[in-house]
Amino acid sequence: MHSEESLLNGGFETYSSIDAIDDSKTHTYLSELNHLLRGSAPLAVTFVLQYFTSLTSTISAGKLGAAELAACSLAVSTFNVTGLAVFQGIVTSLDTLCSQSYGSGNIHGVGLYFQRCTLIMFSVMIPLTVFWCNSGFVLGYFIDDPSLVSMSQTFLRWHTIGIPGLIFFESGKRFLQAQHIFHAGTYVLALAVPLNLLLNWILVWNKGTSVGFVGIPIAIAITYWSISLLILAYVVFIDGMKCWGGLSKQALVNWSAMLRLAVPGVVMVIAEFVAFEISIFLAAKFGTEAIAAQSIASNLAAFLFQIPFAYSVVISTRIGHYIGMGNIAGAKLDCQIFFTSAPFVGVANFCIFYFGRFALAKLFTTDEQILRIAAGLNVLAGINQLADAFNVLGTGVLRGQGRQTIGSILNSIAFYLIAIPLGYVLAFDLHFGLSGLWYGLILGVVFLAAGQCVAIYVSDWSSIVVVSQKMHDGA
C-alpha cells in the first residue's frame, strides 16, 4: 500500500519482482515507445490470425451455396452481437484489474481476477445459450425465409458447444497479457489456423467426409476448444504460472467491482458492433450490389482494426501497470505517446484504404459495379480511420485507467445518437445514398475520438490511483 504522498509525486515504493517494468531504469519517450511497439507486433499477428479463422467459415459456407452463405452470415452476425461483443466487453475488466494488480505486486490477484471474470462469463453464457438454441423464434420476426431461419438456428446450436473454449481463451489471453506475455496467443493461433483449415476440409469441403452445413459450426467449436487447451498448455509448460495462486473460493464472491467495469465495457463494445450491423442492414435498401460493397468495406475495416487494437491493448496493460505501481509519471508518458502516435496509425490505415481501394476490393469480387462502389466506400472507410485511430487507442487508455464508464457513455452517444440517425438522414432523406451511411459514421467517430481525448487530457491521475487501490484492497 502506497502513501498518498508517494502517489501524488508519481513515485512508487518497493515491489515484488516484476519483469514488465523495471523501476531502476529511467523510461524515456523513445524507450517507452519501443516497448509498446514490441508488444504490439505479436498481438497484431494474434488478432489477425483470430480474425482469419472467422473468414474461413464464410468461405466454407460460400462453397456450399448461396443459402448456406446467407444462413452462416446471419448466424455469425447474431452471435457477434449477442455473444462475442458481450464476452469481449466483459473481459475489458481484466485489461484494468489484472494489469493494475500485477503492477501493484499482487501477482496472485491476477489469477483471482481471471477466475472471477471467467465465472461471470459462464454465468452470462447460460441464458445466452438458451437464446441461441431457440433463436429461430426471434429471427423469424425479422427474416421471412423459414428455411434460412432454421439453418441459422441449427448453426448456432452446434456453435454453442465451443463457447466455453472461447471464454477460456479470451480470459486466458488477458491473464497472460497482464504479465506482458503478448506472444502466447500468436503461437496458439499459428497452430489453430491450420487445424481450422483442416477441419473445414474434412467436415465441409471433402465430399467423402463432409457432414454438410453443420460441419462449419462443428469446426469452429473444435477450434475454440483447441485454442483454450493450447493457451492452458502454454501457461503450465512455458510461462505464466507465477500469477496463478490456485483455485480460490474468493472467485465466487465480490463480483461487484468487476461488474462495474464489465457492464460499461459490454455497452462500449456492443455499440460499435450494432452500428456496423445496422449499416449493413440499411445498405440492403440500395440493392444487392450496395450491400455487397458495404460488406467488403466493413470487412476490410474490421481487418485493419486489428492493428490499432493490438497497440491499444499494450497501452492499456502498460498504463494499468503504472497505475498499480502508483507511478503517475509513467502513465502520463504513455498518454503522451498515445496523443503523438495515434495520427501516424490513422494515416497508415488511411493510406492502405486509399491506395489499395481497388486491389483490396478485388480480393472479394470481380463484379465491376460492386468494385466501383466498394472502391468509393474504401476511401470513406480510410477517412474514418483518421479519427478511429484516436478512438481505438483512447479506449485502451481508458481501460488501463479503469474508466470504462466514460467510454460506454461516449460510445452510446456517438453511435446511437449521431452515427446511425445522422447516417440514415443523409442516406435517405438527403439522398446521399450509401455514402451517407458512412458520413454519419465518420461524424460519430470524430465525436467519440474528440470526447475520449478530452476525457484523457483532463484525467485526475491521483484520484485514479486512489480508486484503483481501494478497488484492489476490497478484492
Model confidence over 270-311: pLDDT tens digits?
Answer: 888 888 888 877 887 887 788 778 888 888 888 888 889 999
Closest CA to 43 of 230, 269, 314: 314
Query: The whole model's pTM is what?
Result: 0.86
- Residue 59: CB partners within 8 Å, gap ≥ 6? 200
Helix (H), strand (E) counts: the chain? 20, 0
Please give the pLDDT value at position 368. 87
CA distances, 392 to each of 33, 85, 277, 302, 314 (Å): 17, 15, 19, 12, 12
Q: What is the pLDDT of residues 50-79, one digit of tens each?
A: 887 777 887 888 788 878 888 888 888 889
Question: How many other C-beta atoms can be found within 10 angstroms of the C-beta atom of residue 231?
Answer: 26
Closest CA to 174 of 89, 247, 53: 89
Which residues in the chain come in under a pLDDT of 50?
A: 1-20, 23-24
Please give the pLDDT value at position 217. 96
CA distances, 323 to each of 14, 15, 244, 404, 464 (Å): 15, 13, 21, 15, 8
Please give the pLDDT value at position 400. 94
Please give the pLDDT value at position 58. 78
- What is the CB-side half-sphere exposure of residue 238 using CA atoms within 13 A? 13
**What whole-number distance in Å separates Cα of residue 213 and Cα of residue 223?**
16
Kindly list the domain boundaries of the chain, sorted by start residue. 4-473
The answer to whether the beta carbons of residues 113 and 96 sit under 8 Å apart is: no
The answer to whether the beta carbons of residues 339 and 374 sit under 8 Å apart is: no
The answer to whether the beta carbons of residues 224 and 166 sit under 8 Å apart is: yes
